[in-house]
Chain A
C-alpha cells in the first residue's frame, strides 16, 4: 500500500543538510507503522514526504503504486483528499465551527457526497470517537483530548486508506495520551486503515505493527520490525467481516440515515445567526422600549412643566388684577398710595408673597427712587387674596428737580413685584409678576391756578392722574 523508496530530503544549497537520508520501507494495507526517534531526527520530515506535504529531494513515495509527486497539484490534492488522513501535533480545529462542522469540512470540500450524507458520516465518526454528545460544541468548549478526538474523526471523514499521525498526543496528559493512542489504534484496526504514526513515545511504538527508528535522518533499522498483534481481538484481516461492518457503518450511509440528518452547509451559521437575531431582536426591543419610555417620560414631564407654567402664568397674569386705586395727599410732603389686588378666580384664593412696592420719580430721562413706606399692607406676610384687598403705602417724593411732562406735575412710576401662588405654602407652583403703574402727581405746593393756566380740567386739578393700563 505504501512504498517509500530511498526517500531523501535535503535543505540548503552547497552545504545542504539531509533531514532524511535514503529511507526505504513498505507497508501493507491495514498495518501500522510507528516512526520513532528523538527530536530533529527527521520523523516529521519523513511523514511530510509520505503525506505529500514535502517533496522528497530524492527517492519516491508510492501510495497504492502512485507516485504522488508525479501528479499535478490538483491531482495530488485530490489524492491527498481521498486517500490520506492527517492527525497533526495539535488539533487545529476551526474555532468558529462546531465539532461536527470541523469533522465534515474536508468531505464538504471534496464535494463527493451530499451534505446530509457527509453530516451523517461525521456524526458516525464522532460517535466512533466517543463524542456524539458534543457534536454541536465549539472547539473552545472542548477539552484537549476531545479536540484530538475531533481531529481524528476529521482525518477519517474522507474514508482514507492511509492515516498519518504526527505526534498526535503531544501536549496531552498521560491518561489522555493513552486514550487517544488507543483510539487511534482501535480505529486503525477496526477500519483496516493503514496507519503511520510519528512519535517519540516508545509505548506507542510498542503497540504498532512495525517500527522505524530515525537517527539523524536515517532509519536506524533498515528492515521493519514486525511485531505480533497486541490483542487477539484485533487480529482481523482486511477481509474480516467485522472490519467491513465497522467501516460500512461509518462510511456507507443509507438514505434513511441521511434523511434523518438533514443538514446543509452553513446550517451552523444560520443557527448562529438565528440565535443572534433571537437575542438581538428582544434586546433591541427592550432597548427601544426603554428609550421610548424614557423619551415619553421626559416629554410628559416637559409637557407637564409647560402646562404648569402656563397655568401659573394665567393665574398670575389673569387671575390677579392689580393697579393703583387712589393717591391722596398725606401729611407734610407725603402721599398715601392705595393699590388694589383683586382675585378674579371667584372663591379660589390666591396667595401673594411679600409684594414689593417701590416708587420712582422721573428726573431728566431717569427714574429716581423715593422712600416708600408700607402702612397697611401686611408686608412680609403671605397675603390670602379672595376678593379685593387694598394695600396702602406712604411715599415722600421730595425731588426738587423732577421732570414736568405735564406742567407742575411729577411723572411717577410705581413698581409692584409679587410672587403669586395658588397655595399658601408653594413648592414649585410660584410665579413672579412685575407690575408698573404710571401716574402724574401734583406736588403739595403746586398752585392750582398756575396749573389751570397751563392745562384745563373740568374741576380742580386732580392730585393724581392715572395712566390707563394700556
Chain B
C-alpha cells in the first residue's frame, strides 16, 4: 500500500476527524442544536471514522460458492448481449446476443428485471443498447463504420424487452421500434412492477412505459426532454454551465399521424457519443461533437422513490434531480446536489403547448452522476463529480418532495480532484448500509466502499477489486453484495462478492467479459426496492 493510502495515515486522519466530530457535536449540543441541524448546513466531514476498515481485494483468490437461489443478469456491453447466471450452481441459464436479431451494433448497456415468482422458470427484463458512434470511443481499430454497420440498423438506442422462458431467451419486443423512442442508457422498473422508465443522456430524453406482457406491445405513458439554456450562452463552453442558467423540461408528445415519437436510433442526439465518466470535460472543452452540446443537461437516468409515486430524473451536467409525480406526470421540484448550492429548487411551468417547465440555477458547481433512493425512501443520494467528489445526501422522508432537504455529504479524504470518484450505489436489504463503487482511471483497479446510513460515514473499503467497477446488486436474502467490474470494455472483468451483514470478502465470480451492469432478478415486487428501480 502506498504511503498516501497507508492504514496508519488513514486511521490517524480518521481519529482526528472523529475527535473533531465529537468536539463539534459537543459545541453544537451546547448551542442547543442537534446533529441534524449541523448537517443541514450541507457540509459533511471528509474524514473517515477511526474504525473504517480497508480491505485489499486484490489479495483474494478466484472463488465460487453457492450464493443462493438467484438469477444474476448481466449485460455484456460491447459483447452485444446479456447472460443470466444461476448463482446456486454457477451455470449460465441462457443468454442472448442482439447481433443475431439484425442489430449491427448492439452495445448491451443497462438493464432491469421484472419480478418473477420463480426466475428459473421465466422472467422478463428490459435491456437498453447503445450503438452508432459510441463504439468508436474505446480505442478499437474498427472498420464498423466504414462498412456501413452504424447505419439504420446500427444506430443503437434500442430498448429490448426479453423473456427467459426457463430454457432460452427470446426477444419479445424492441420498445424503441414500437414507440419511436430510442433510449440507450439506464432502465428502471417501477416499484410496483407496472412499468419502467428509460433515459438517454445523449438525447436528454426520458420516458415512462407501461408493462407489456408476452406478445403485447409497450406503450409510452409519458416522455420528457430536458434542455439547458446557459445564462452566458455566448461565452465559453464551460461557462455555459458553470455560470448558471435554466433547465427547460418539456413534455413530449407522439405524432398524431403515427402515434409514435420520432426519437428512434440516433435521432434527437445532442452529442454523438455518450458521456462516459469524466466525459463532461469533453463537453466543456468543445471536443465532443454533436448537434447541440450547449443545450446538454445529461438526462441520463430515472430512479423511482420506493413509495411508488415519485421519480427522479437524473441530470448529470448540472448535478440535479427533477422530481416528477407519476400520478399526474407533473414535475414537482428539483434537488440540486453540489455542496454550497441550494438543495431544493422550485419549478415553474412556463407553457402549456406543449407543457414546459423551467428551473433556474444560479450556478453549477459540479457535474453529477448516478443516484438512488434508500429502500425505506427516506434518503436520496447523488454523486457530485469532477469539481466536487462527494455524495449529496437528501432527507426524503417528507411526503412532499418540496420539503426534501440536503442534509450532508458522504466524503472520503481520497476523493479529491477528478479521481477516484464515487460512482454507482445500492443499499443493503435492511437499509443499514449503502454500497458505493469508487472509480479509478485505467489501468488502475477500482474499488467500492460501505457507508453507514445512520452516520453517512464510510465504514469499510474494498480496494483494488478490478478495473472499472460499475453497478452493484444485493441478494434479497440479505447475504451478498455483487460489485461488477467491466474492465473498460476490454480489460479484465468479473464480479467481486462480499457479505451484506459482516462485510467479509467472499471472492470473485467469473463473467464472460465486459459486463457493465448487474441485476438479480427479484421474486416479488417488494424486492424492487433493492433492485434496478430505486438505485443505479
| Contact residues, A346-360 vs B (CB, 8 A) | 346, 348
Residues in B with CB closer than 8 Å to A96 are none
One of B139, B293, B488 near A458 (C-beta < 8 A) = B293
Q: Write the chain A residue with the least CB distance to B4.
A: A345
Task: Determine if B445 and A458 form an interchain contact, defined as CB atoms under 8 angstroms apart.
Answer: no
Whole-angstrom distance from the CB of A100 to the nearest CB of chain B? 63
Q: Is A403 on the interface with B (CB-CB < 8 A)?
A: yes
Q: Write the chain B residue with the least CB distance to A435.
A: B443
Q: Is A365 on the interface with B (CB-CB < 8 A)?
A: yes
Whole-angstrom distance from the CB of A466 to the nearest CB of chain B? 7
Whole-angstrom distance from the CB of A318 to the nearest CB of chain B? 5
Stretch binding the partner chain, chosen from B202-210, B283-291, B302-310: B283-291
Q: Is A423 on the interface with B (CB-CB < 8 A)?
A: no
Given known A-B contacts A364-B143, A366-B141, A455-B289, A319 and B443 have beta carbons under 8 A apart: no
Residues in A with CB closer than 8 Å to B292 are 456
State A323–B143 Cα separation when bound (angstroms).
Answer: 26
Residues in B with CB closer than 8 Å to A404 are 146
Which of A318, A344, A348, A465 counts the most B-chain CB atoms under 10 A from its CB? A318
Task: Determine if A365 and B142 form an interchain contact, defined as CB atoms under 8 angstroms apart.
Answer: yes
Given known A-B contacts A455-B289, A457-B286, A470 and B277 have beta carbons under 8 A apart: yes
Q: Is B267 on the interface with A (CB-CB < 8 A)?
A: no
How many B residues touch A, CB cutoff 8 Å?
49
Which of B1, B139, B294, B440 counts the most A-chain CB atoms under 10 A from its CB? B139
| Contact residues, B269-295 vs A (CB, 8 A) | 272, 276-279, 281-282, 285-294
Whole-angstrom distance from the CB of B41 to the nearest CB of chain A? 29
Interface Cβ pair total, 8 Å cutoff: 122
One of A310, A346, A462 near B286 (C-beta < 8 A) = A462
Task: Determine if A468 and B237 form an interchain contact, defined as CB atoms under 8 angstroms apart.
Answer: no
Whole-angstrom distance from the CB of A267 to the nearest CB of chain B? 56
Which of B143, B287, B291, B442 counts the most A-chain CB atoms under 10 A from its CB? B287
User: How would residues 109 to 151 of chain B score, 1 for a CB under 8 Å from any chain A CB and 0 otherwise?
Assistant: 0000000000000000000000001001111011101100000
Task: Determine if A405 and B142 form an interchain contact, defined as CB atoms under 8 angstroms apart.
Answer: yes
Residues in B with CB closer than 8 Å to A459 are 237, 286
Whole-angstrom distance from the CB of B152 to the nearest CB of chain A? 18
Q: Is B19 on the interface with A (CB-CB < 8 A)?
A: no
Q: Is A90 on the interface with B (CB-CB < 8 A)?
A: no
Whole-angstrom distance from the CB of A21 to the nearest CB of chain B? 93
Residues in A with CB closer than 8 Å to B138 are 438, 467, 470
How many A residues touch B, CB cutoff 8 Å?
45
State A469–B490 Cα separation when bound (angstroms).
Answer: 12
Residues in A with CB closer than 8 Å to B3 are 345-346, 348
Residues in B with CB closer than 8 Å to A367 are 141
State A465–B287 Cα separation when bound (angstroms).
Answer: 5
Task: Determine if A458 and B279 form an interchain contact, defined as CB atoms under 8 angstroms apart.
Answer: no
Q: Is B419 on the interface with A (CB-CB < 8 A)?
A: yes
Q: Is B5 on the interface with A (CB-CB < 8 A)?
A: yes
Task: Determine if A365 and B141 form an interchain contact, defined as CB atoms under 8 angstroms apart.
Answer: yes
User: How would residues 35 to 65 of chain B score, 1 for a CB under 8 Å from any chain A CB and 0 otherwise?
Assistant: 0000000000000000000001011000000
One of A313, A364, A413, A465 near B139 (C-beta < 8 A) = A413
Whole-angstrom distance from the CB of B447 to the nearest CB of chain A? 10
Q: Is B492 on the interface with A (CB-CB < 8 A)?
A: no
Residues in A with CB closer than 8 Å to B2 are 311, 314-315, 318-319, 345, 348, 422
Whole-angstrom distance from the CB of A407 to the nearest CB of chain B? 10
| Contact residues, A396-433 vs B (CB, 8 A) | 403-406, 411, 413, 422, 433
One of A314, A366, A433, A468 near B137 (C-beta < 8 A) = A468
Whole-angstrom distance from the CB of A451 to the nearest CB of chain B? 9
Task: Determine if A456 and B290 form an interchain contact, defined as CB atoms under 8 angstroms apart.
Answer: yes
State A456–B293 Cα separation when bound (angstroms).
Answer: 9
Given known A-B contacts A365-B142, A406-B136, A465-B282, A314 and B1 have beta carbons under 8 A apart: yes
Task: Determine if B441 and A323 form an interchain contact, defined as CB atoms under 8 angstroms apart.
Answer: yes
4 closest Cβ pairs, A-B complex? A438-B139, A469-B441, A317-B444, A470-B276
Measured CB to CB, the residues of A under 8 A from B are 306, 310-311, 313-315, 317-319, 321, 323, 344-346, 348, 362, 364-367, 403-406, 411, 413, 422, 433-436, 438, 455-459, 462, 464-470
Measured CB to CB, the residues of B under 8 A from A are 1-5, 56, 58-59, 133, 136-139, 141-143, 145-146, 237, 272, 276-279, 281-282, 285-294, 417, 419-420, 440-445, 463-464, 468, 488
Apart from A403-B141, A404-B146, A468-B276, what are 7 other A-B pairs with CB-CB below 8 Å? A313-B464, A314-B1, A314-B2, A348-B2, A435-B443, A466-B282, A470-B441
Name 21 interchain pairs, CB-CB below 8 A, sorted by A.
A310-B1, A311-B2, A313-B58, A317-B443, A318-B420, A318-B444, A319-B2, A346-B3, A362-B141, A367-B141, A413-B139, A435-B443, A436-B139, A456-B291, A456-B292, A465-B287, A466-B282, A468-B276, A468-B279, A470-B137, A470-B278
